[in-house]
Structure 1
Amino acid sequence: MAEPPEGLPAEPAEGGDPAGPERSPPPRCARLRAVEPVLLLATVAVSLQNPLCTQYLWDRLGPGDGTSSAEKGRGCGNGTHFGPQEVETLVAHWNLYINLAGFFVGLFSVTLFGPWSDNVGRRPILIMPALGMALQAGIYLVVMYLKLPVGYLLLGRILSGLSGDYNLILAGCFAYVADVSSKHERTFRVAILEACLGLAGMVASIVGGQWLKAQGYIAPFWLVFAVSLCAALYSAFCLQESVVQRRPGKLLTFCHYLAVYHLYVAPDRGRVWKKLALYSLVFFLVITVHFGTREILVLFELSFPLCWGSDLIGYGSAAYYLTYLSSLAGLRLLQMCMADSWVAEAGLLSSFSGLVVFSLASTTPLMFTGYGLLFLSIAVTPVVRSKLSKLVGDTEQGALFAAVACIEGLCSLVATGVFNSLYPACLHFMKGFPFLFGATILLVPAAIVGWIEIQDAKPAYRHFTDPPVPEGESVHH
């Protein structure tokens, strides 16, 4: 009998017991090893939801009827119960409350589910958060249909956080790629996932802005619900499991939290823990600036002097997400002539210059110039994720990316608190100061990444430069 194709389960022997250990191969769609569709669908949902939610809060807390500003033909801050600055402050604070609620709950659920997936597989931690995101979108729709107080949006955010939220989908997808890729190709494979974030976000931003302008909030939120549900169904029925040796694992146990803790404190890791800690700090600072500045971009564009409508906000978001694709191309080209760490440094320089331009932008062309300067900014995170992944074993990828997702949750917590509090405080003296503040923070990860790369290169040079020690003599320091 011919051998089955590589990677597919063997057919049971003729006349064998179908109830025995040998099972028939699953349906063909269950053999797909592409996790990218899960990330694409989940990112479409998040990229549609976040700016729409901010604009919904803007309209509900201003005019009070929840009708989109495009439908009312509102000007910049006109026709509201409050002045423009009061509305900006209220929206910033409600964004703070909603994100604090979700990410604080998600911080604990992600670190529980991530290490658990090292035993039971990655598919469960992709299904649960996708269903949670669909539930959140459903609650948002109820709030919009019934014109309930905006405080009910907190309920949807908390329920999504309990299921792991979008951060758990990120952790599961990156752990999946680490399972199926070699160390040599891992950086580029991770960068492909990052590019999926940009592609989905760019499409969602254009569609969301135009759809909001044409039909209001409810129709786009139905799409958020639908794509979240599709991500769960794809994970459940069409995605092949990447963990080969699965074993039963207890979910509700403190050992999962200890697995994440031991990544950084286990005594047998030697100096590896220092690199883990430093790269984790780099990741924390970069993502905090990334999340924090993105959080206030829509508010910055809605208000004076830019006064953008929903269509321009959609184009701006699309330009922002386009940097994911340009960063993938830049990463691939730069890898041919320099180490990954120096590619990350180039990405940090791109982020720094773009944020400085944002801080001074008072016209639409200058704002889009800032978006253009961010063309390589996303090259930093795939490099750092890849370097972290290479520092741990194959059976610790779930725990590692749970820790990374935990850091992302903490980043969102800190970014939302700092930037949404800093933005209203700076309206009276320099509206773009939060962007300048974020650019200054990026100098720290640039110094850390450069220092680690130089330290790693030293032994190779010392081999050629240190003079040989004559036999019988000792080296004195």
Structure 2
Amino acid sequence: MTISETEVTPISPSKTTSSRERARRRWVTVEPVVSLAVVGYITIGLLRPFYLKSRLGESMFNITEQDEIAKCQANKTDGGVMEDEIQSQASLWLLYLSAATNIPVVVSSIVLGTLSDRLGRKLSLVMAIIGYICQEIVYILTVYYKLPLPVLLVGDFLQGVGGGFMTLFAGCISYISDITLEKQRTIRIAVVEMMMFFMGGVVQVGAGYLLSAFGPIPPLAVALGLNILCLMYVAIPGILFETVDRKSIPEHRKGLKEAGRSVVKLLKFNENGRRWQMLLLDFFIFFVMLNVNGVMTIFILYGTAEPFCWSAVTAGLAGAFGFITGSIGMVAGTKLFSFCLGEYWIMQISCLSLLAFNVVMSVSNTTLLVFIANAVGALRGMGVPIARSVLSTIVDPSEIGAAFSIVACIDNLSSFTSSLMIPSIYATTVSFMPQVIFYVLSGLSIIPSGIILILQIHWPRRKDYKALEDSGIYEDGPREEDLKEKATTYMSIPKTVQIKESTDF
């Protein structure tokens, strides 16, 4: 007799269970959440450097209109000195704003993601959306009333407290993991990531046009309106069904202390070497996202210098082409290769595509070669959604939120690290060899391939998912209520799956 995942994991027969079943029958669940929320994420990232340069130019040099000087010609004119100083100060402000977001996000992403295992997946979604709404309101007020630039730090801090985009994305992936079987999960996660990249490309073009034609307030207003619509989609009952049965979880398991225990327990247990698998997958995601975020950090700046000398329109099109080819390659490549290759081999192909992108970028001297680099790197996005899918299968279903909260923290750390490291390397080498940055990124892209090789050797993928037994071990010892709860849960599982695997790595 074949036992399904829902039989292995006991689910209370409440109305939340029926909500999970209804959500499982839907083709569209959290995809609109990602599509709407990414508008604010990309819009803020695109608008912030332009607005900072405008305000700093006005305050430092009394420049009310930015001169139409191509950056590749700026150092040959007197205006180049001012441009360099403005860019230097703008880079510092970008660093301050990034710190204001990423420092609180390290804590909030883990707390919100772990609590979502007990209080529901909508918690992390709602908090992240509210954080973006607060940030956009602060930015609109700052632009409209010309408030001091430090006010922007308040908006970024509030966004960080809400968990940021990666916490929202981790909540969406946890939701997908709740409602899918293992064989469906990889492609569903890839579709969600595709929506993020595809919408990112569309927003880059649209927000860039609005910014150049009407100023910063219209794109911010559009982002605010879409995030409010996103909040309504999540919060209004009956539209997005909750997948976590909060009533079946005892009150003493819902607090912040228990959330911390869940993370410790997640890393403490090592059945079948799962701790090392989790850590290696997290490191894989870190280095891939470090590479991706690093390219996003300097891509436009690199293209506006010699020998490319991009205009704003060309820069927007080049960025959008990279997003869109990555989104198409992610879904099409994952689906195509899954017919003949295992998950780890698909991740290796993804690393090879990432390396090819960086190598071609390092030798590019025309805009055409930059577009070709994005084409050969179209498959570089396959690895991360597969890593998330594999991660969801090696943890207990009740630990998915905690596992993806760590992934969200890793995503934010990679973003913060790339914002510190990559521009510093580029600024140091731009005067004599600007392509050095892509040599560095090429070297970094080899690391995730080595990580997957370790996983392939020591933990080849299994076809069948086996539930892990929760030993109920805490730092202060098991509590009586936990033992009773575990005994009840264990007796509800069919005898054919009451198996403990104790192999350690």
Bin of the TM-score, shorter chain as denominator length: 0.7 to 0.9
How far apart in 2 are the matches of 1:312 and 1:261? Answer: 48
Shift of 1:132: 0.9
Q: Aligned ranges for residues 386-401 of structure 1 at < 5 Å?
A: 386-401=389-404
Correspondence for 2:131: 132
Q: Distance in 1 between matches of 2:224 and 2:243?
A: 27
How far the C-alpha of 1:81 sits from its partner, in A, is 7.8
User: Which amino acid counterpart does residue 314 of structure 2 have in structure 1?
Assistant: L
Distance in structure 2 (CA, Å) of the matches to 1:358 and 1:57: 28
Say if 1:225 and 1:66 are closer, same or farther in 2 by CA, change over 3 A.
Answer: farther
Preserved contact between residue 167 and residue 405 of structure 1 (Cα < 8 Å): yes
Q: For residue 43 of structure 2, what is the aligned residue in structure 1?
A: 48
Q: Distance in 2 between matches of 1:63 and 1:363?
A: 34
> SS state of the match for residue 149, structure 1?
coil
Contact 2:135 2:159 in 1 (8 A): yes
Query: What is the aligned partner in structure 2 of residue 285 from structure 1?
Result: 287
1:270 deviation in Å?
4.4
Task: Mark the CA change 1:432 to 1:178 in structure 2 (over 3 Å): closer, same or farther.
Answer: same
Find 2:319's aligned residue among 311, 317, 320.
Answer: 317
| SS across alignment from 1:272 | helix
Instruction: Provide the residue aligned with 2:179 in structure 1.
Output: 180
Instruction: Work out whether residues 120 and 249 of structure 1, in 8 Å CA contact, stay in contact via their aligned partners in 2.
Output: no
Per-residue deviation at 1:458? Answer: 11
Deviations 1:167-192 (A, max 9, x none): 21011100000000101111111101
Residue in structure 2 matched with residue 300 of structure 1 by the alignment:
302
Indicate the residue corresponding to 2:266 in structure 1.
263
Amino acid at match of 2:317: Y
TM-score, normalised relative to structure 2:
0.80
> Deviation per CA, 1:146-197, whole angstroms, max 9, x where unpaired?
2233332221110110111112101110000000010111111110111111
2:131 counterpart letter in structure 1: G
Equivalent positions of 1:346-357 (< 5 A) are: 346-357=349-360
Change (3 A) 1:301 1:86: farther
- How many residue pairs get aligned? The number is 434
**Which stretch of the first structure deviates more once superposed, 75-84 or 420-429?**
75-84
Alignment partner, residue 240 of structure 1: 241
2:339 corresponds, among 310, 322, 336, to 336
* Residue-by-residue CA offset, 1:286-330 (whole Å, 9 max, x unaligned): 111111221121222234443323222221221121111222101
Matched, 1:212 2:178: no
- 1:93 is aligned to 92
Question: 2:443: which partner in 1?
Answer: 440
TM-aligned CA distance change 1:22 to 1:117, over 3 Å: closer
Going from structure 1 to structure 2, the CA distance change for 1:181 and 1:431 (only over 3 Å counts) comes to same
The Cα of 1:354 is off from its aligned counterpart by: 1.0
Q: 1:459 to 1:172 in 2, by over 3 A?
A: closer
Query: How many angstroms apart in 2 are the aligned matches of 1:193 and 1:91?
Result: 33
Quick one: which amino acid aligns to residue 141 of structure 1? I
**Preserved CA contact (<8 Å) 1:306 1:363:** yes
Aligned mates of 2:398, 2:262 — CA distance in 1: 11
> Aligned partners of 1:233, 1:47: CA distance in 2, in Å?
20
CA-to-aligned-CA distance 1:188-232 (integer Å, 9 cap, x gap): 111011111112112111111222222122211111211122211
Q: 209-218 vs 177-186, which deviates more? A: 209-218
Aligned to 2:54: 59
The question of whether the paired residues in 1 share the 8 Å contact of 2:116 and 2:124 is answered with: yes
* Deviation for aligned residue 1:251: 6.5
CA distance in 1, matches of 2:461, 2:183: 22
Identity score, percent = 27
Write the deviation string for residues 118-164 of structure 1: whole angstroms up to 9, x where unpaired.
11111121111101101101111122122233332221110110111
2:479 paired residue number? none
Conserved? CA contact 1:63–1:80, under 8 Å: no
Q: Distance in 1 between matches of 2:292 and 2:269?
A: 31
- Structure 1 residues 230 and 435: alpha-carbon distance in aligned structure 2, compared to 1, 3 A threshold: farther
> 2: distance between equivalents of 1:22 and 1:105?
35
Deviation at 1:457, TM superposition (A): 4.7
After the TM superposition, which of the residue ranges 242-251 and 178-187 deviates more from structure 2?
Answer: 242-251
Q: Does the Cα contact within 8 Å between 1:423 and 1:434 map onto a contact in 2?
A: yes
Q: Which amino acid aligns with 1:262?
A: K
Shift of 1:68: 7.5
Is residue 34 of structure 1 aligned with residue 26 of structure 2? no
- Partner Cα distance (1:54, 1:281) in 2: 30
Q: TM-score, normalised by structure 1?
A: 0.84
1:412 maps to 2:419? no
Q: Give the 3 Å change call, closer, same or farther, for CA 457–166 of structure 1 in structure 2.
A: closer
CA distance in 2, matches of 1:127, 1:328: 27
Report SS of the residue matched to 1:150.
coil
Mean Cα displacement is larger for which, 116-125 or 292-301? Answer: 292-301
Separation of aligned partners in 2, 1:355 and 1:87: 29
Instruction: Give the corresponding residue for 1:464.
Output: none
Cα distance per residue 1:430-474 (max 9 Å; x no partner): 2232222112111111012123223345999xxxxxxxxxxxxxx
Q: Which runs of 5+ in 2 are unaligned?
A: 1-13, 464-505
What SS does structure 2 have at the residue aligned with 1:405?
helix
1:39 is matched by which residue type in structure 2? V
Q: 1:459 to 1:279 in 2, by over 3 A?
A: closer
- Counterpart code for 1:230: L
User: CA shift at 1:63, angstroms?
Assistant: 5.2
Which of 350, 372, 376 is matched with 1:373 structurally?
376
1:250–1:161: structure 2 CA closer, same or farther, 3 Å change rule?
farther
The structural deviation recorded for 1:108 is: 0.3
Question: Partner of 1:471 in structure 2?
Answer: none
